[in-house]
Amino acid sequence: MPAAATATAATVAAEPSVRTPLPVLGRDVAVPLVTGGEVTYAALDYAASAPALQRVWDDVAAYAPYYGSVHRGAGYLSQLSTDLFENARRTVAGFLDCRADDQLVFTRSTTDSLNLLAAALPDGCEVFVFETEHHAALLPWQRAGRVTVLDAPDSPAQAVEALERALADRDPHGPALVCVTGASNVTGELWPVRELAAGAHAHGARIVLDAAQLAPHRAVSVRELDVDWVAFSGHKLYAPFGSGVLAGRADWLREAGPYLAGGGASRTVTRRADGGVDVEWHETAARHEAGSPNVIGAYAIASACKALTEAGFEALAAREDALVRVVREGLADVPEVRFLSLFGDDAPRVGVLSFVVDGWNSSHFAAALSAEYGIGVRDGLFCAHPLVRRLLGGDTGGAGECGAPEAGALNAIRVSFGAGTPEEHVARFVRAVRELVRDGARWKYRTVEGRCVPDTSATNSPSGA
């Protein structure tokens, strides 16, 4: 590793406040290498799904024997589970610094949360969203009515200007909603959420924050950011147990029909004289939580919120910033590696970095990182196709044949990390990238169902063997 990267890694380890990663499940898992032997798996795909915190797993395991039906049972375990579920709601609301009259709905994921909000939009509402959004934040509005998709900005200031101009020009000047990410799942760059919220409110619009990539890395305050709603997923917040959150203003949620019709959402159901039924729906969060809720998922999110709060986001962010520097500085003298960015290389970001390597198919490169170094990253367009295509300088074609040098990048590679990432995993990643660029892959690869995989046929052997 270059001296600069080595020094940066040493700096990380020397600072007591940031040197120790939070314990996560899977930290000691060994995986086989195609070249022989085993190595501890380096999970560097946190942006897709983060490993469970050990504390979250321990809390869930301790509760599991006491699991019972929520809101419906007279027995002790049902009452205990109901209290735990509602306490989890209060814990997460505190984690988000929600307003006193906000509602917090437990969902399945960020995608589910934003689809719920899309279903609750008032008539005539126009939605404004940047093309840079993850598909979970870009697509739900397509069925909800009028949608204005804004071009990718070149700077935070340009984002605010473009949004204000679009909102001012809307006709008719009816209800409007802005959807924006807090941190890009492609570049990791932080978006000017507070300024965008101020611009939205100045023009009579509301705003929902997609905090899927922000909440695991930075403190999120609904009050300070002045957003109307926030959505995030448990599986990115070190609580991969199938739950998500939508929190914010109660009025649109209360006035909309239930997201799902069924038990739990209804207060009373009565037969009419004509044989039909009349339903009175709850006006609380239960209105949109029909069916038996995922109490373990909600409890897991609350446990993660407590763990991250106690660890301190300032210390977590400082450690993560140092790890980002290890990557950037460790690859700074490798001209074949190009990082993707909207706002510039020095823009504030969370631990998410995407890049391309000249002369490499990105799927091939990612496969070699996994098979030869035990490093898990992601390749592709990251469910943000318009953004990645823009960053790559145009449209993308097919994946191409694995191992064939490409004249232009067809997709990208993403490395991402967080509170549970050891320094050694990041150092191994930097070393592996440098070696692959310099020496090439040591194994042969082939394309199988669109994915690049090691060729394990009997006639295959490592290069030079």
Active site residues: 383
Q: Is 179 helix (H, G, I), strand (E, B) or coil?
A: strand
Can you tell me the distance from the alpha carbon of 120 to that of 280, in angstroms, rounded to the nearest whole number? 17
DSSP 51: P
H/E segment holding residue 267: strand 266-271
Write the CB contacts of 298 (distance below 8 Å, at least 6 apart in sequence). 85, 88, 89, 92, 106, 243
Q: How far apart are CA 193 and CA 221, in angstroms?
A: 11
Nearest 10 degrees: CA dihedral of 86, 90, 93, 95? -120
Q: What does the alpha-carbon distance between residue 16 and residue 9 come to, in Å, rounded to a whole number? A: 13
Cis peptide leading into residue 240 (ω within 30°) = no
CA 347 distance to own-chain centroid: 19
d(CA 460, CA 66): 53
Alpha-carbon distance of 438 to 335, in angstroms, equals: 11
List the one residue out of 188, 192, 222 whose CA is nearest residue 208. Answer: 222
Neighbours of 274 (CB within 10 A): 5
Task: State whether the Cα torsion 295-52-324-305 is positive or negative.
Answer: positive
Residue 162 C-beta-side C-alpha neighbours within 13 Å: 19
Facing residues of 190 across strands?
A: 183
Q: What DSSP character marks residue 65? A: G
Q: Closest Cα partner for 265 from 237, 280, 287?
A: 287
Strand order in the sheet with 337-339: 337-339, 352-357, 412-416, 378-380
Between CA 168 and CA 178 the distance in angstroms is 13
